[in-house]
Amino acid sequence: MTSTLPTSITARATSSPEMVPLPISLRIRQRLDAAGVAYLANDNISDHLQEGELDQLEVEVAGKVRELLRSLVIDIDNDHNTQETAERVARMYLHEVFKGRYHQQPKIASFPNVKKLDEIYTVGPITVRSACSHHLVPILGNCWIGIKPGDRVIGLSKFSRVADWVFSRPHIQEEAVMILADEIERLCEPEGLAILVKAQHYCMKWRGVKEPQTSMVNSVVRGDFRHDPSLKQEFFELVKQQESMLY
Ligand SMILES: [Zn+2]
């Protein structure tokens, strides 16, 4: 009998970590760390999520948002407007505005360039929606993509799909454009690629300096667009024409 008590205490102590599992976000982060995979705000981690983990993550995030609201001294127990805000925000982050971090890239098929098309074309404006990594407030804008085809081509609507997926993460605009360029190069290996993004940043409009008219414009040019100034010029001319069609 004398040995029963210490044994049962030891058994309880060793089994307690199994009874209280680690938070799902911690388990995912440990897995990413062990694999040496980056998980910055604008990285996609979908390849490292297991079946059902996104649902568990949604529950965990909702709990944290609930605590955030309490820390903001909002009476979520009695305020009918915010009673389910935590669940809405968790769903919105994981499946809508930041879906580009947690969901796989939409399926995009590429086809051989059988007609050997080699003239440049532009697609735009494509609406892009993101949030700044610094304050998590919206970035809303337009994107134009210029392609000089290589051996493979993708459908026009696919540019919208990949842009939406890339921008639906916390970003800074400069990096968003680079990541989008990397993805398009991977999908269709063009001879030349040019991307222009014009966006309004709500962290400048809504807070901070509160400049309602300021926008940010940036571009990336690769391949033939980079080496041939006349091709680059043609891209910006085509964008100007597409913009004039808007008004
Ligand atoms: Zn910001």
Domain ranges of the chain: 4-102, 111-244
* Distance of alpha carbon 90 from the chain centroid: 15
In a structure prediction context, what are the per-residue pLDDT tens digits for the chain, which is 247 residues long? Answer: 344 444 443 344 444 556 788 999 999 999 999 999 999 999 999 999 999 999 999 999 999 999 999 999 999 999 999 999 999 999 999 999 999 999 999 999 999 999 999 999 999 999 999 999 999 999 999 999 999 999 999 999 999 999 999 999 999 999 999 999 999 999 999 999 999 999 999 999 999 999 988 899 999 999 999 999 999 999 999 999 998 887 7
Distance 193 CA to ligand 1 centre (A): 28
CA–centroid distance, 136 to ligand 1, in Å, is 6
**CA pair distance 101, 160, nearest whole angstrom:** 17
Ranges of H-type helices in the chain: 4-19, 24-35, 53-71, 85-92, 99-102, 156-167, 173-188, 202-205, 224-227, 229-244
Distance 164 CA to ligand 1 centre (A): 20
For the CA atoms of the chain, what is the radius of gyration? 24
pLDDT at 247: 72
Distance 208 CA to ligand 1 centre (A): 9
Residue 192 in 3-state DSSP?
Answer: strand
Ligand 1 center–CA 206 separation, angstroms: 10
Q: At what angle do helices 85-92 and 53-71 cross, to 10 degrees?
A: 130
Q: For residue range 108-145, what is the model confidence (pLDDT) as tens digits?
A: 999 999 999 999 999 999 999 999 999 999 999 999 99
CA diameter of the chain = 91
61: which residues sit within 8 A by CB, 6+ positions away?
Answer: 25, 89, 90, 93, 94
How high is the pLDDT of residue 20?
Answer: 85
134 alpha carbon to ligand 1 midpoint, in Å? 4
The answer to whether the CB of 169 falls within 8 A of the CB of 39 is no
pLDDT of residue 213: 87
Distance 65 CA to ligand 1 centre (A): 20
Q: How many angstroms is it from 202 CA to the middle of ligand 1?
A: 7
User: CA-to-CA distance for 108 and 160, rounded, in angstroms?
Assistant: 11
Domain spanning 4-102, CATH architecture = Orthogonal Bundle (1.10)
User: What's the CA-to-centroid distance between 138 and ligand 1, angstroms?
Assistant: 8
Question: Which among 181, 150, 189, 175 is positioned nearest to 163, based on CA atoms?
Answer: 181
Q: Establish whether domains 4-102 and 111-244 are of one fold.
A: no
DSSP character at residue 103: S
Least Cα distance to 243 among 167, 144, 173, 141 occurs for: 144
Q: Return the CATH fold of 111-244.
A: GTP Cyclohydrolase I, domain 2 (3.30.1130)
